[in-house]
Amino acid sequence: MSQQTNATPAVTGDRVTRKVRRLAAEFPELGRVRHVEANPPSPKAWAVTLGFVAFCVIGAAIGNATVAGALGMLPIWLAICGGILWYYGGEKVVVFDRGLLIGSFAPFLRPHVVPFAQFAVGSITAVRPAWKLAAMLTPRTSLFTGRNTIWAFNGVAFVAVFGPVARRKYVDAAGTFSGHGARPSTAIVWWFATWRQPDRLVKALEAALVDLGHPVVGLSHHVLPLVRISGKPADAATQVPRLVAALEQSF
């Protein structure tokens, strides 16, 4: 006799950190964690950092410091530079059943909450380089929030309302996330940049939205592969039409 199991599907993407688990428990309204997309330092970022540390140590050895003294500085420089990279690499998008946590998960910082109920589901776009979106869309909106680092060029962008910081005080008695810092109807262009390909994040967003009943089956086939953008406003309608269409509509 066969038995049916109701095992919870595995979380895809990157590691579910302790802070992700804690925030997930703090906001049960979002449902379960489905996918974690992190933006750790790229191999090139680590290589540049190690090169900088080596330059500083060699420079100290050539200068007044002894070789032993210069080598003694090595772990200090590695700890400082590694800590800076780790802190800036704390940016994540966590996909839940009913929304996102997007922003920095570094110590003393909290991400923003973006419920799918306040999300333009048809606006999802994958671009490179993500940081050019602001210049490209400025004639249409001046409201942007980009989660970016110097080593990240690929990005996933979407239009949603300005979500509150992930604090319990911004959830009302009905379980609704209240806007904080902008009117709830204000549309913001969000983007999350990473040095990796955005395929798995786009597919995770599609799966979550389909499970909620949104008619976006096959969305990833329209969004991927990513589009290389010029950053020129004149090219916005042809290169990022999904974002343009979402900005022209009101929530």
Q: pLDDT by residue (tens digit) across 197-216?
A: 999 999 999 999 999 999 99
- Is residue 136 situated within a structural domain? yes
Structure pTM?
0.87
Mean pLDDT (the chain) is 86
Is the CB of residue 97 less than 8 Å from the CB of residue 34?
yes
Q: What percent of the chain has pLDDT over 70?
A: 88
Query: Do 119 and 240 share a structural domain?
Result: yes
Q: Which long-range contacts (CB under 8 A, 24 or more apart) does 45-51 make?
A: 45/85, 45/150, 45/151, 45/195, 46/85, 49/81, 49/82, 49/85
- Is residue 98 situated within a structural domain? no
Please tell me the predicted confidence (pLDDT) of residue 9.
Answer: 82
Compute the distance between CA of residue 177 and CA of residue 89 in angstroms, rounded to an integer.
Answer: 27
Query: Do 136 and 55 share a structural domain?
Result: no
Tell which residue, 96, 124, 155, has the closest CA to residue 219: 124
pLDDT over threshold 60, residue 146: yes
Number of separate domains in the chain:
2
Query: Do 202 and 120 share a structural domain?
Result: yes
Give residue 62's domain range: 43-87
- Is residue 233 situated within a structural domain? yes
CA-angle at 27, arms to 22 and 30, nearest 5°:
120
pLDDT over threshold 90, residue 18: yes
Is the CB of residue 216 less than 8 Å from the CB of residue 206?
yes
| Lowest-pLDDT range of 139-148, 168-177, 217-226 | 168-177
Query: Do 193 and 227 share a structural domain?
Result: yes
- Is residue 217 situated within a structural domain? yes
Query: Do 226 and 147 share a structural domain?
Result: yes
Query: Do 131 and 62 share a structural domain?
Result: no
- Is residue 7 situated within a structural domain? no
CA-angle at 135, arms to 132 and 141, nearest 5°:
120
Query: Do 209 and 133 share a structural domain?
Result: yes
Query: Do 173 and 75 share a structural domain?
Result: no
Tell which residue, 10, 20, 197, 164, has the closest CA to residue 94: 20
Compute the distance between CA of residue 52 and CA of residue 101 in angstroms, rounded to an integer.
Answer: 34
Q: What percent of the chain has pLDDT over 90?
A: 59
pLDDT over threshold 60, residue 182: no
Query: Do 159 and 79 share a structural domain?
Result: no
Query: Do 80 and 129 share a structural domain?
Result: no
- Is residue 34 situated within a structural domain? no
- Is residue 197 situated within a structural domain? yes
Q: Which long-range contacts (CB under 8 A, 24 or more apart) does 225-228 make?
A: 225/126, 226/126, 226/127, 226/128, 226/154, 226/155, 226/197, 226/198, 227/125, 227/126, 227/127, 227/128, 228/127, 228/128
Query: Do 126 and 242 share a structural domain?
Result: yes
